Amino acid sequence: MRKKKLVLGDIYEIPLPNGLNAYGRLYREYTLAIYKKRCKSVLQLPPENEYEFFVGVYEDLLHDGEWKLVESRPFATEEETWAPPLYVRDMLNGKISLYIKGKMIPSTEEECKGLEAAAAWDRHHVVDRLMGETKWNDIL
C-alpha cells in the first residue's frame, strides 16, 4: 500500500479519552500545531489559527488513519510552513542549540527559555499531554 502524500496545512483530528477531539495542523518536518480549542467536530474549530503548542510526531502517525485528515488550511506563503524555533540539548556535552527552519544554531539556555524541545513524539505521549500531563513542560 502506498502512503498518501502529506500536504502542509492539513488538519488531523486527534480523538481524546474524554470524548472530545484535539486538532493539529501540519507544518514542515512532521510538526503539528495543536489548536487551543477541544471540540466534538472540526466544524466547531474557529477559523483563526490559535495554537496551544507545536509538536513533532512520527510520520507513521499521519498515515495510519487513527488520526483522521479532516480539513486543510493551506499556508499563504512558503515561510509560514515552518514551525517556530525549538531547542536541542546535546545529551553528550550538554550544549544547547536553537533549531530554526531545519538548521542548528549554537545558543544559550537564556535564548531558549520557554521554547519547545525538538523531538518526535509518539501518539500516546501527544494524547497524554493534551489531557493535561505536564511532565514534559519546562524541561529547560
* Tens-place pLDDT, residues 97-112: 999 999 999 999 999 9
3-class DSSP string for the chain: CCCCCCCCCEEEEEECCCCCEEEEEEEHHHEEEEECCCECCHHHCCCCCCEEEEEEECHHHHCCCCCEEEEECCCCCCHHHCCCCEEEECCCCCCEEEEECCEEEECCHHHHCCCCECCEECHHHHHHHHCCCCCCCCCC
66-88 pLDDT, tens digit per residue, is 999 999 999 999 999 999 999 99
Is 113 within a domain? Answer: no
Is 31 within a domain? Answer: yes
pTM of the entire predicted model: 0.89
Is 137 within a domain? Answer: no
Per-residue pLDDT in tens (0 to 9) along the chain, 140 residues = 456 789 999 999 999 999 999 999 999 999 999 999 999 999 999 989 999 999 999 999 999 999 999 999 999 999 999 999 999 999 899 899 999 999 999 999 999 999 989 989 999 999 999 998 876 555 54
**Number of structural domains, the chain?**
1
**Domain, as residue range, for 33:** 10-81+118-130
Find all residues with CB under 8 Å of 52, minimum gap 6, and list them: 34, 35, 36
Is 100 within a domain? Answer: no
Is 41 within a domain? Answer: yes
d(CA 102, CA 80): 14
Is 126 within a domain? Answer: yes
pLDDT, position 134: 73
d(CA 85, CA 20): 29
pLDDT, position 136: 58
Is 57 within a domain? Answer: yes
